[in-house]
Structure formats: C-alpha cells, structure tokens
Amino acid sequence: MNNDVVLEMRHIAMKFDGVQVLDDVNLTLRSGEVQALVGENGAGKSTLMKILIGMYQPTAGEIECKGNTVRFRNIKDSQEHGISMIFQEFNQVKHLTVMENIYLGREPLTKAGLMDYKAMFKQSKQLLESMGVEISPNMYVRELTVAKQQLVEIAKALSNKAEIIIMDEPTSALSNKEIEHLMNMIGMLKRAGKSIIFISHKLEEIYRICDYVTVLRDGKHIYSGLLNGLDEKDLIKMMVDREITEMYPKEKVNAKDIVLEVKGLARNHEFQNINFEVREGEILGLAGLMGAGRTEVIETIMGIRKADSGEIFIRGKRIRNRLAADAIKNGILMAPEDRKKNGLVLKLTVKDNLLMSALRKCVKAGYIRHNLEKQYAEYYIKELNIRGTLNQICSTLSGGNQQKIVLGRVLNADPDLIILDEPTRGIDVKTKSEIHKLMSDLAKRGKAILMVSSEMGEILGMSDRIVVLHEGEQMITLKREEADANIIMQYAMGKKEVLVV
Amino acid sequence: MGKIGKWPKKERAMRNIGNYGIIIVFLIIVVLLSIAAPTFMTYSNIITILRQVSCIGIATIGVGILIIMNCIDLSIGSMFALSGITAGLMVSTGKEGLALPAIIGIIVGIATGVVVGLFNGIIIAKGKIPPFIVTMGSMSITRGLALILAHGMPVGSFPDSFTYLGTASIDSNNLVPWSVLIFLSVILLMDFLMKRRPLGRYIYAIGGNEEAAMAAGIDTARIKIKAYLLEGGLVGIGATLLASRLKSAAPALGSGYELDAIAGAIIGGVSFLGGIGNVWGMVLGAVMIGVINNGMDLLGVQAFYKQIVKGTIIIIAVLVDRKRAGRA
C-alpha cells in the first residue's frame, strides 16, 4: 500500500429538515486502500457516501480529490473524477444486455452516428476478461445472478475509469462462494491501485479485506485508523458507546398470557427458524442491522408475505394469514415502517385514515354515521395530541403527526397484538417521547407489542425482551437486564460467542 | 392552533381551481350558448339534454368510481351493446324475441352488465392483471357476444311496456321524463354509497394508496371485485335505458361510449391517478359533454368539429388535474 492520498472529505456536515445527520465528519482515502466504513443503522454512512458521489450537497465541509478541491453537483460530476458507487440495488436496465448496461449513457458511436455495437462488444469483452469474469457481453442482465449483476456494476465502474469505488453492503445478497469471488476481486482492484470504501455490517469480512476503518456514530466521526491491531470489541464499543438517557419510559408490567407465538418460521433467502412469543403487557424488541430480516419476519406474521414453513399462534390457536385483512380479524395490527409508502393514504383526510382499519365501528344500519366518525376521530386526535384537524389532508402534516395517525388507526381497531416497525424513525424528539409513553401505556393496558427498531436506545429502553437477528438467523433472545448495546451489536454483527466487556 | 388546517394561500388557490375550475368553464359555455342560440336556455331543451345524457351519465358514474380506485374499464361501449341486446331479445315481439314481460328484459339487461363487471373484476383482482389489458380483452369478447346473439342485426319490435321508461314522462306535459328521474336516483344513490358506505371509503383508499389500504387490513381484491360488479350493474342500467329510449338495440350500440364515459369522469374532476373525485363532479362532466354536443347542434356546427371541441376540453381538464397532482 502506498500512501498517496486520493480523497479527503473534511468537516462534512449535513442537515435534513433541520435534523443534523452528519456533523464534522472527516474521511481520508489512500490509493490501493480498502477502507471499512462502519456504524449502526442511521449512523450516517449512506449519507456521507451520497455526498461523496454528488447525490446530496453537504451543508458544510469540503472534498479534495487528488489534491484539487471539488464540488460535485451530481453523480456525473463525481464519475468524471473517478468515483463510482455500487449501490445495494444496482441501477441496471434489466432488459438490456451486459454491454449496453456497461456503456449506458456513453455508447461508442460509429462515424455515421449509429451505435457501434462491435466496439462495444470488443471493449466490454476485454474488460470482463481482464476482471477474470465469465460473462458474455451479449447476455441480458435479467438472466444473470445477483452476484454477476454486481460484477457488471464493477465492470461499469472500471470502464468509467473509476479510481475510487464505493461498495454498499456488497455481500448482503451473495452466497459464500460468491463472497469469496468478490473478495478476490477486491484484492485484485486493490493491487491495481484502486481505492475502495467498503460499507459492511459483517465483522469477519471487514477484518479480512480492509486495511483501514472509519467509524461513525450518530452522524459524528468517532475514529479513523488502521484495522490491524484494533480489537473487535473495541471496534463495536466505538459504534455503540453512548450515554443512554432516560427518555424511554417503559414501565415494568408483569407479563401474563402469551398472545403471539411463532414457531420455526422460515422464508427462503430471508430468514430461518424464528421462534419467539409475545405476552400481554410485554414489548418484544426485534433488533438487528439492515438486511437482518426483521421487516420480513413481521410482514410474514401479518400475512403480507407467505411463510415457507413454521407456525404462528394467536392465544394458542394456530392462524394462517393470507392477507393483512386476515391478520386484523385475528387481532393483529401493524404500523408499517414507511408511512408514506404503506402507512397512510396521504391523499385522504386525517379522519379517513384514523378510521380506516375499523370503519365498521362507525356504521349503523348500513351506513357511516358522521357523528360516530367525528367522535372516534376526535378522540384519537386529542388522545394522541395530533396537530391537525379532522378533515385535513394527511400529506400536509408533519412526519411525527403522520406517524401518530398511523398509531391512532391501529389503536382504533383495538388489536391484541400491535406490531410497530420503526415506530419513531425520522420523528422529532418530543413526538418520539410521546409515542414511547403511549407504547408503555398500551402495554400496561395489557396489549402485546412487537417492535422492530434500528435505534439501540429505543430497543434497550422500550423492550422487555430482545430478539437479535443477523442475516435472517435468530442469534439470541435477551432479557432486558441481560442486554446492553455492546452485546446486542456483537450478536447483530454475527458473533456467536459474545464477549462481555 | 392558528395555521394548522389552513392551506397556504397559493396552494389553496390551486385547489380551488381544481375543484371549481370546471364549474367556471361550464358556466362560461352555458352563457355563451344562451347568447348564441336563443332556444338553448329553454326548459324543453334542458330536459332534452338531460334525457340524452342520462344513459351515458349513469355509465360515467360507474367508470368514474373505477378511476377513483385507480382502475379503468374499456369494455363499457361493448357492454352497452350486449346488455341492450340481451334485454331486447327478452322483450322483442319480433322473430328472434321471446316476448317476455318488460320487467324480465330490464332485469336481464342489468344482470348482463353485472356479469361482465364481475368477470372483469375477478380477473383483475385475482389474476393481478392490469385493468387496461383485461377490459381491452373483454371489450372485444363482449362485442363479439353481442354480434353473435343478435346475428349481426339490430333487435327491435319492442313492446310499449319496455320503451315506456326510456321515452315517457311521469306527467302528461313531458316535464319530467322517467329517464331523467332514474338518472337522478342513481346519482343520489351512488353519492350516498361513495360517501357513507365503507365500500366507498375503501375505493378511495385503494385508489389513493393500494399498499397502505392493504396494510390497513382492507381486502383490496374483494373491494375491487365489488366495484367492478357495481360498475357493471350501472352500465347495465344505462344500456337498458338506452335500448328502451331508442326502441332498438344494434350490435354496434355504444361504440365509443367508453371514451365518452371516461372523458366525462375526468372532466368532472376525477383524478386519473386515483383517490380523488366525487359523483356530482362526474355528473357535471357528463352533462358538460351533453351541453357541448347539444349547443353545437343548435348552432348548426358540423359534426366533425364536435370531435375537436370535445378532445380539447378533455385535454384541458387533464391539465387542471395535473396541476392538482403537482400540489399533492
């Protein structure tokens, strides 16, 4: 490894809607270096990389690329400076061939101004061969495996003369053998003097392939240094070490009858052999990093996805949910992760959304009674302190208020089991503590709550017990008093034997 | 509370254009026509327009509901033919006809619409095929069935008992035709259904965000089937009424009606992106097309120009719709 600095990001800061996502972050990359970028979900890794490739403009800070200060206004700018990012979902046109994808947007032309397929074929073939990859440039991308699609993306980056390649969790969808191949490929790129930023949640890979590491936590730069000699547990400690303030008020409730029991639940390529139960008055936290399969598990319980094997019981009775509508009949309701995508109908009013899951309550003698609607909707607006009016269109409300409406909708249907997927993501601190208080109250009233959260503080503060997933595998179930951020993180990153610090 | 619940000024203005722009355009057309054609603003002419509009207007409400649900039906025109012919064959005293009582004809006509709607709905909801494609297929199938049943010839020789509803009025002075009264009843019923029955709410929810509706526990497949069934029934009513008014039903009946119905709904403020629209708006859209047709007849405008005017108004209506979508 030589020590020529190819990239320096200095004092990068980023604000989204007034929320500080990155604060004074530095990153230095040298040629021929593989640098790991690590941190919990939401630590700011992706934001930092999107700033680097010009997708976002930082609120402060500067980027120096090969000695010149640069400002990237878009992805094309950064590509011209030799920076390419391999996204988790590759940006490929599946119905075009490999070579057409490699040269998309900069196709070689003949003198007559037509597409020069011959040159395109020759050059892509050369490129792919030089990478030691057996893919014909003529194949359609849709015919390739995920691993091969990824290689095409790398080929595209190289054909773009990329010097810096960013890989965002490149191994998450690969088999062991494919990972091996990718590791070799990274080694080869490194020897060719390319620099790589490697975002990963897997300790084993990081230690195997990376030279250098940068740790982010809550948008702040925590550490940069050689990986060699850095202890695994020290690395994890840097990722999770923070004061956990007592903003989470989950009160202890004596858990009673089992409401939900999941036995041996599995879905191909997503998760295997998941077992847990949730009791009345209990909040069960489902912890794990991005791609661990948490959302997939709860969507399967809801009937949005179909299980390949395993059983689900509600109060001891086996249930089969084909649809979310079935789950509701069985007393399960979910507040989804993405409010805008499937939590709310943004075009409709506050009232419509609040009542949607239990509209029957407002129907008497065959039609909807306005007075009942008003009564229920106003109750939840007051109860949840929603800053909006009955007939306001939901798209005009803030994220926190939208989330409260989703919760109100769930409460109005009065389920036995409430599933909350990232209940407070992207929500201001005050609303967040209101929602936490509400969750605690619900548990006290005997509801069973299953919560997915990427926020360590929320998991630790709100859960009575915590199930940790890693790559679709249930690593352990921890009691509240057994858990701390360090232990959870070690399991979440795939360590089977956890060292207590 | 202050600002909460209030729209910023500019957005509010946009919204109002979305809601009332069409009414303003409509009033302008009405005023211009009353000046240009003295007979336009007479009671009998207005009733004539409403009578002409009633059949297609009922179908407009049907397809408008589907568009609110972010679906579509292209088979409406063919359904007019098939429903008209099945109803006609029941009551006709001609060679092919069964000469059954008028009520049987009416029931069969409406039932035919329901069956086609059900067919469309089940394939769309269960087969998860885009409505555009399914109804394009059923458009052809339905027209073919109409041709076969009628042996390619118009069905006629209807008894007076069958043509009564389409042609007669409840009073002897022809002030309130039955067809207008039926149209009005359908409007009131459907307005109530869309506003006050859970089915109506669910249709808005599916059109606004199908995934969210599903996650909220709405059985979206079931609702879609119900909506198509309802729409089929409405088209059946419109078709039977039309056959009754025309005193015959040809296999070519209603060709192009799907576009008129869709146009009426869109002009009436139904968002082609789904989730937005109401029954009275659709009625206004249908009446507006009727008024334009009638006005141009009164002014002696050549039929060819009508097409251009109608097309222009559709595009303007969608432009207004776009502005609204940009806001949301």
Domain A1-82+163-241 and domain A258-492, same fold? Reply is yes
B4/A contact by beta carbon, under 8 A: yes
Distances, alpha carbon B318 to alpha carbons B62, B280, B306, in Å = 19, 18, 19
Segments of B154-246 assigned E as strands: none
- For helices A146-159 and A117-130, the axis angle rounded to 10 degrees is 110
pLDDT beneath 50, residues of chain A:
1
Interface of A with B in 382-421 (CB under 8 A): 387-389, 392-393, 395-396, 409, 413
pTM of the model: 0.80
Question: What's the CA gap between B203 and B227, in Å, rounded?
Answer: 8
- Residues whose CB is less than 8 angstroms from the CB of residue A153 and which lie 6 or more positions away in sequence, other chains included: A86, A87, A90, A92
Quick one: pLDDT at residue A500?
62
B198/A contact by beta carbon, under 8 A: yes
B189/A contact by beta carbon, under 8 A: no
- Distance spanning both ends of chain B, measured CA to CA: 23
- For helices B43-68 and B220-246, the axis angle rounded to 10 degrees is 160
> For residue A13, which of A75, A62, A68, A69 has the smallest C-alpha distance?
A62
Quick one: pLDDT at residue A291?
80
B219/A contact by beta carbon, under 8 A: yes
State the smallest CA–CA distance between residue B249 and chain A in angstroms: 37
Quick one: pLDDT at residue B11?
47
- pLDDT digit string (tens) for B50-99? 999 999 999 999 999 999 999 999 999 999 999 999 999 999 998 888 99
Structure tokens at A243: 């004061």
- Residues whose CB is less than 8 angstroms from the CB of residue B302 and which lie 6 or more positions away in sequence, other chains included: none
Query: Which residues are registered as beta bridge partners of A448?
Result: A417
pLDDT for B246 beyond 90: yes
Kindly provide the b/e burial profile for residues B238-268, where b requires at least 16 CB atoms within 10 angstroms of the residue's own CB: bbbbbbbbbebbbbbbbeebbebbbbbbbbb
State the smallest CA–CA distance between residue B14 and chain A in angstroms: 15
Quick one: pLDDT at residue A218?
86
Kindly provide the b/e burial profile for residues A420-458, where b requires at least 16 CB atoms within 10 angstroms of the residue's own CB: bbbbbbebeeebbebbbebbbebbeeebbbbbbbbbbbb
| CATH code for the structural domain at A258-492 | 3.40.50.300
Rounded (5°) CA angle A199-A203-A207: 90
| CATH code for the structural domain at A1-82+163-241 | 3.40.50.300
Alpha helices (H) along A3-106: 45-52, 75-80, 98-102
**pLDDT band at residue B321 using 50, 70 and 90 as cut-offs:** low
Quick one: pLDDT at residue B20?
64
Question: What's the CA gap between B238 and B185, in Å, rounded?
Answer: 12
Residue A165 in contact with residue A455, Cβ under 8 Å?
no
Question: What's the CA gap between B198 and B233, in Å, rounded?
Answer: 19
State the smallest CA–CA distance between residue B138 and chain A in angstroms: 28
Quick one: pLDDT at residue A173?
74
Domain spans, chain B: 35-327
Neighbours of A137 (CB within 10 A): 23
Domain spans, chain A: 1-82+163-241, 92-162, 258-492
The reply to whether ipTM tops 0.85 is no
Question: What's the CA gap between B261 and B64, in Å, rounded?
Answer: 8
Residue A22 in contact with residue A48, Cβ under 8 Å?
yes
Residue B195 with chain A: CB contacts under 8 Å: 368
Encode A91-122 in three state secondary structure.
CCCCCCEHHHHHCCCCCCECCCCCECHHHHHH
B205 and A413: CB-CB below 8 Å? no
B197 and A366: CB-CB below 8 Å? yes
- Residues whose CB is less than 8 angstroms from the CB of residue A91 and which lie 6 or more positions away in sequence, other chains included: none
Residue B215 with chain A: CB contacts under 8 Å: 302, 304, 324, 334, 336, 342-343
A344 and B209: CB-CB below 8 Å? yes
State the smallest CA–CA distance between residue B215 and chain A in angstroms: 6
A342/B contact by beta carbon, under 8 A: yes
- pLDDT digit string (tens) for B266-286? 988 898 889 999 999 999 999
Quick one: pLDDT at residue A185?
92
Least confident of A190-194, B68-72, B123-127, B307-311: B307-311
Structure tokens at A429: 């601190």
Quick one: pLDDT at residue B325?
53
Class for domain B35-327, per CATH? mainly alpha
Residue of B nearest to A398 (CA): B4
The pLDDT of B251-260, averaged and rounded, is 93
Q: Find the CB nearest B212 among A342, A366, A368.
A: A342
Instruction: Find which of A301, A328, A348 to mutate to test the B interface (most B CBs within 10 Å of its CB).
Output: A348
- pLDDT digit string (tens) for B202-227? 999 999 999 999 888 899 999 999 99
Chain CA centroid to CA B167, Å: 20
Q: Is B31 exposed, middle or buried (0-12, 13-18, 19+ CB in 10 A)?
A: exposed
Structure tokens at B128: 């998860």
Quick one: pLDDT at residue A1?
44
A345 and B215: CB-CB below 8 Å? no
Backbone angles phi, psi at B247, to 5 degrees: 60, 20
Quick one: pLDDT at residue A501?
53
Quick one: pLDDT at residue B324?
58
B6/A contact by beta carbon, under 8 A: no
pLDDT, greater one: A195 or B3: A195
- Residues whose CB is less than 8 angstroms from the CB of residue A384 and which lie 6 or more positions away in sequence, other chains included: A404, A405, A407, A408, A434, A438
**What's the mean pLDDT when you consider all of chain B?**
89
A345 and B205: CB-CB below 8 Å? yes
A366/B contact by beta carbon, under 8 A: yes
- Residues whose CB is less than 8 angstroms from the CB of residue A239 and which lie 6 or more positions away in sequence, other chains included: A38, A39, A40, A43, A215, A217, A222, A489
Q: Is B154 exposed, middle or buried (0-12, 13-18, 19+ CB in 10 A)?
A: middle
Residue A213 in contact with residue A225, Cβ under 8 Å?
yes
